Amino acid sequence: MKAGAPPGARGPDPARAELDARVLAWMREPLSGPADAGDEPRFDALARALFAFQFAHCAPYRRFCAGRGRTPETVAHWRAIPAVPAGAFKELALRSFPEPCEAHAFRTSGTAAERRGVLHLDTLALYEASLLPSFRRGVVPDLAPGARARLRILAPAPAEAPDSSLSHMFGVVLAALGDAGSGFDVRGGALDAAGLLAALECAGAEGVPVALCGTAFGFVHLLDALAARGARLALPAGSRVMETGGFKGRSRELPREALYEGIASALGVPATRIVNQYGMTELGSQFYDSVLCSPGEPRRKLAPPWARVRVIDPETGEDAAPGAIGVIRIHDLANTGSVAAIETADLGRTVAGGFEVRGREPGAEARGCSIAADEMLAP
């Protein structure tokens, strides 16, 4: 509960506490490997119980579902749970808890003049429990239990960007898995290139592999800084890169293939050791490329067992044919405090053992945002 909350504001009710406990228990079980898609009956039971709770406690979502004739009584499988467009998080507070219980809010990127999506949270427990096993499997699958890794982060620290879910994620990862030489390398809104290069040279001298993690645009700044110095590094064997995010609103863009070529050339990390993370502020879970946990197999994105990713044919509203491109829809049990089923504005396709992201659907976010807001606000 945030400071100044009105007297009488309550925490999670018993039904919500029980749902959180069941999801947390799943997150704390060890992942069985890249192919761990989780127990389908377990997921279905939890997803429908969570839908019933969110239908009862989130009025805008209830109106959205009722408008589609979907209620807890009519939904017999998790696939029938209505998914709200991600853009709706810009228009409405999609909370499944009383507002005075809000403990934290993550906001999508954008300028002060832009409307930004907000994920309202009454607890960070599920968000933090969800992110660690996925990061470990996707980025440091070879890290021995109890060991720590050298992590350098091309993003601001949580204290500098308190409403950034990415900075919060990196803060949790750093505290749980980082060694004494780990740290953040963006300060005051800019890459501390000199400090980062000194840290990388130190790791090289020690022969310690580095996991260099950050936004795609952060890596562009790093490559620019190296180019300006006429410098190239050869990071120690075993090093890897994790990049995430796009270039929306940035001064310039770089195709992913060109970015990976630049990283390989300037840092000595080949594309086979570069992991892309797919995530959204509106979601509590993240999705990582398989290249490090399934080396030698085709690159694909993996979902944690408590999330499901569907690719929807926009014309039928049903699952697209295997391999066909459609709109990515995600059911994420980590979202107990908001809405678990979200339709993204991203295009993708299912592949064996995972999925691929293939760009953005033109105009999808604006359309979804407008339609959903109208339906959710209707009396």
Could you read off the pLDDT of 14-28 as tens digits, one per residue?
999 999 999 999 999
For the cut 70, the answer to whether the pLDDT of residue 35 exceeds it is no
For the cut 50, the answer to whether the pLDDT of residue 29 exceeds it is yes
The average pLDDT across 298-322 equals 94
Distance of alpha carbon 96 from alpha carbon 329, whole angstroms: 20
Q: Tell me the two tokens of residue 306.
A: 């408590």
**How many percent of the chain have pLDDT more than 90?**
77
Q: Tell me the two tokens of residue 315.
A: 């014309």
For the cut 50, the answer to whether the pLDDT of residue 106 exceeds it is yes
**Close Cβ partners of 35 (under 8 Å, ≥ 6 residues apart):** 353
Distance of alpha carbon 333 from alpha carbon 189, whole angstroms: 33
For 63, the enclosing helix (H) or strand (E) is helix 59-66
DSSP annotation of 123: -
Which pLDDT score is estimated for 254?
A: 77
Backbone angles phi, psi at 277, to 5 degrees: -105, 130
* Greater pLDDT, 210 or 359: 210
For the cut 60, the answer to whether the pLDDT of residue 374 exceeds it is no
The one-letter amino acid code at 62 reads R
Distance of alpha carbon 75 from alpha carbon 270, whole angstroms: 47
CA distance from start to end of the chain: 29
Which pLDDT score is estimated for 3?
A: 41
Which pLDDT score is estimated for 58?
A: 96
Which pLDDT score is estimated for 13?
A: 83
Q: Tell me the two tokens of residue 155.
A: 């993003």
Which pLDDT score is estimated for 2?
A: 45
CB 247 within 8 A of CB 276: no
Distance of alpha carbon 228 from alpha carbon 193, whole angstroms: 11
Confidence band of 98 (pLDDT split at 50, 70, 90): very high
CA distances from 70 to 32, 79, 97, 178, 329 (A): 34, 12, 21, 45, 17
CB 212 within 8 A of CB 269: yes
Distance of alpha carbon 176 from alpha carbon 128, whole angstroms: 11
CB 152 within 8 A of CB 204: no
Which pLDDT score is estimated for 246?
A: 61
Taking each helix axis from N to C terminus, what angle separates 125-139 and 14-27, rounded to the nearest 10 degrees?
A: 10
Which pLDDT score is estimated for 359?
A: 83
154: which strand partners?
Answer: 214
Instruction: Please state the pTM of the whole predicted model.
Output: 0.91
Which pLDDT score is estimated for 377?
A: 54
Among 65-69, 114-118, 222-226, 313-317, which is the least confidently predicted range? 114-118
**How many percent of the chain have pLDDT more than 70?**
87
Distance of alpha carbon 311 from alpha carbon 350, whole angstroms: 7
Distance from chain centroid for Cα 74: 30
For 16, the enclosing helix (H) or strand (E) is helix 14-27
Q: Tell me the two tokens of residue 36.
A: 């761990």
Q: Tell me the two tokens of residue 188.
A: 């005051």
Distance of alpha carbon 350 from alpha carbon 268, whole angstroms: 31
Confidence band of 109 (pLDDT split at 50, 70, 90): confident
Which pLDDT score is estimated for 351?
A: 94
Among 120-134, 260-274, 335-349, 361-375, which is the least confidently predicted range? 361-375
E strands, the chain, where? 84-85, 104-107, 118-121, 150-156, 183-187, 190-191, 210-215, 240-244, 274-278, 287-289, 301-302, 307-312, 326-332, 341-351, 354-360
275: which strand partners?
Answer: 242
DSSP, collapsed to helix, strand or coil, labels residue 52 as helix
Using alpha carbons, select from 131, 124, 119, 221 the residue that is nearest to residue 174. 131
For the cut 90, the answer to whether the pLDDT of residue 36 exceeds it is no
For the cut 60, the answer to whether the pLDDT of residue 361 exceeds it is yes
The CA-based angle 274-278-280, given to 5 degrees, is 145
Q: How many CB atoms lie within 10 A of CB 65?
A: 25
Which pLDDT score is estimated for 123?
A: 94
